[in-house]
Structure 1
Amino acid sequence: MTQASPAAWVDLQQVSVRYGAVRALDQITLRIAAGERVALVGANGSGKSTLLRVLHGLADATGGGFQCQSALGQAMLFQRPHMLRTSAQNNVALALWLRGTRWREARARALAALARVGLAGIAAQNARTLSGGQQQRVALARAWALQPDVLLLDEPTASLDPHAKREVEALMADFAAGHGARGPAHPVTMVFSSHNLGQVKRLASRVIYLEHGRLVADLPVHDFFNGPLPEAARLFVKGELV
């Protein structure tokens, strides 16, 4: 992996991913600048999750080129975050400890991170007993504590009730705006997949539409919802393609 230009966080050139006979991504060319808020949309199986995994180094890409600013720290949240069978505080502290933070300091920073997402009161509770919305907020606290430059999220509110969705979405907006652990002068690059088009309108500055592993549309959010689109993307926006 080579270094990208300073203005870009990542630059993909004709990157593909195969799972056996299935081509999950098909010659994707994509450049994301630092500080952008990018939404990945498309029908189930379109390649959104695979693209996020490529961006986070969890999926092996073939062909083309992949450049990124390797000095930037990244964190990724999954639709169903993994929680260890221990307290919420320890779930956050462990991530810091694995990065080399002393355990006592890690626990103190973990408590501050839980307070940041409104969960200081359940810090001692077993994380696996929490609701889905609370677990997603613990995962966000874990990411916030790591002070990432880049935040990747795979359908972060898909399985949550409306109240929990609003809470998680508000935190995503806060982090993307730069209200993270490094202070207001440190905006975060955010790439997230979502089927919630209202959420995309509220949070994204740019929308990428994927279809069968191919990048079909890449537009500013206003143009995606108000301008001409390829037929499949147009049907998706109208709710006629699931």
Structure 2
Amino acid sequence: MSDLPITAVPPVARPRDEAAMSRPLLPLRVSGLRLAADGAALLDGVELSLAPGGCTVIMGPNGAGKSLLLKMLHGLLVPSGGEVSWNGTSAAQATARQALVFQKPVLLRRSVAANLDFVLKARGRDRSRRDALLREVGLLHKARQPARLLSGGEAQRLALARALATDPEVLFLDEPTASLDPASVLVIERIVGAARDRGTRIIFVTHDVGQARRMADEVVFLHRGRVAEHSHADVFFPEPRSQPARDYLAGRIVL
């Protein structure tokens, strides 16, 4: 999908609206959201409402549009049609109050500590928080080590610490544990769960049904670019309503 000619959002300097910045970002309303490339509809009329609090897991087969939807909610991609509304907050201001962790960590070629220092300084946060953040993700003992020498799991934990350093109201995660060992997966889940418990709204894309069961308060199931099902996790996993979701949970191929 990354090679498709989809328009990214250019950075735009906007005046600070104090009233909007003090307004909660949630609830989120998505109406008629579409994304097309080369004549194909990648997202086709997505309708979605998310309330404050908890963890929403976005699931679905390959090509369903999960990562594309996540990036559009975060403002990284411009929709072909429809609207994403963060409780009356502008797209630019909403994005500034969110953070996104990708499947492959994007880190600076600096030390572990310097990666956090950069984010804290850029966002005007207290740099004294650095050690507490590194301790939370289990990397304080590697603060002086070059980030490029971290293992895959350690690098993802540093990426997560960088995201949390911005104090996001909403934290997006795009399959952050897809290539990690089981121990690292559980560490990432613990950190994300702690952020959720502190009040950060989590929106999490995963293919891992077991992980979804552990993390989700609610599930959005995508199929062919549309929301096939949106329900509480306690309802979705034992009794999915849609046939594509039933097939997916049963391990059958979903076309």
Q: Given that residues 37 and 190 in structure 1 are in contact (C-alpha distance below 8 angstroms), is that contact kept between their aligned partners in structure 2? A: yes
Residue matched to 1:181: none
- 1:111 to partner: Cα distance: 2.4
Alpha-carbon separation, structure 1, partners of 2:99 and 2:44: 25
Residue matched to 2:196: 176
* Range moving further from structure 2, 159-168 or 13-22: 13-22
What whole-Å deviation, never above 9, does each CA across 1:11-42 have from its counterpart, x for those lacking one? Answer: 11111112232322111011111113100001
- SS of corresponding position for 1:169: helix
Residue matched to 1:30: 48
Alpha-carbon separation, structure 1, partners of 2:27 and 2:155: 29
Gaps spanning 5+ residues in structure 2: where?
1-19
What is the number of equivalent residue pairs in this alignment?
227
2:84 to 52, 66, 71: 66
What whole-Å deviation, never above 9, does each CA across 1:176-225 have from its counterpart, x for those lacking one? Answer: 111xxxxxxxx111000111111111111100111121110111101111
Cα distance change on mapping 1:113 and 1:6 into 2, 3 Å: closer
Does structure 1 residue 124 correspond to structure 2 residue 136? no
Alpha-carbon separation, structure 1, partners of 2:120 and 2:40: 37
* Range moving further from structure 2, 67-76 or 50-59: 67-76
Q: Given that residues 90 and 110 in structure 1 are in contact (C-alpha distance below 8 angstroms), is that contact kept between their aligned partners in structure 2? A: no
Residue matched to 1:76: 100
- 1:64 to partner: Cα distance: 2.4
Does structure 1 residue 153 correspond to structure 2 residue 178? no
- 1:231 to partner: Cα distance: 1.6
In the alignment, residue 42 of structure 2 is paired with which amino acid? A
- 1:90 to partner: Cα distance: 1.0
- SS of corresponding position for 1:8: coil
Alpha-carbon RMSD across the aligned residues, in angstroms, is 1.8
Alpha-carbon separation, structure 1, partners of 2:54 and 2:31: 19
Q: Given that residues 25 and 169 in structure 2 are in contact (C-alpha distance below 8 angstroms), is that contact kept between their aligned partners in structure 1? A: no
Residue matched to 2:248: 236
- SS of corresponding position for 2:27: strand
What whole-Å deviation, never above 9, does each CA across 1:148-200 have from its counterpart, x for those lacking one? Answer: 1111000011100011111111111111111xxxxxxxx11100011111111
Alpha-carbon separation, structure 2, partners of 1:28 and 1:201: 23
Cα distance change on mapping 1:9 and 1:92 into 2, 3 Å: farther
In the alignment, residue 52 of structure 1 is paired with which amino acid? L
- 1:63 to partner: Cα distance: 2.2
2:36 to 2, 18, 31: 18
Q: TM-score, normalised by structure 2?
A: 0.84
Q: Given that residues 110 and 142 in structure 1 are in contact (C-alpha distance below 8 angstroms), is that contact kept between their aligned partners in structure 2? A: no
Gaps spanning 5+ residues in structure 1: where?
179-186
In the alignment, residue 172 of structure 2 is paired with which amino acid? L
Residue matched to 1:190: 202
1:91 to 115, 120, 134: 115
Alpha-carbon separation, structure 1, partners of 2:140 and 2:222: 39
- 1:124 to partner: Cα distance: 0.9
Residue matched to 2:227: 215
- 1:228 to partner: Cα distance: 4.0
Cα distance change on mapping 1:142 and 1:7 into 2, 3 Å: closer
Residue matched to 1:45: 63
Cα distance change on mapping 1:228 and 1:82 into 2, 3 Å: closer
Q: TM-score, normalised by structure 1?
A: 0.88
Q: Percent of aligned positions with the same letter in both sequences?
A: 37
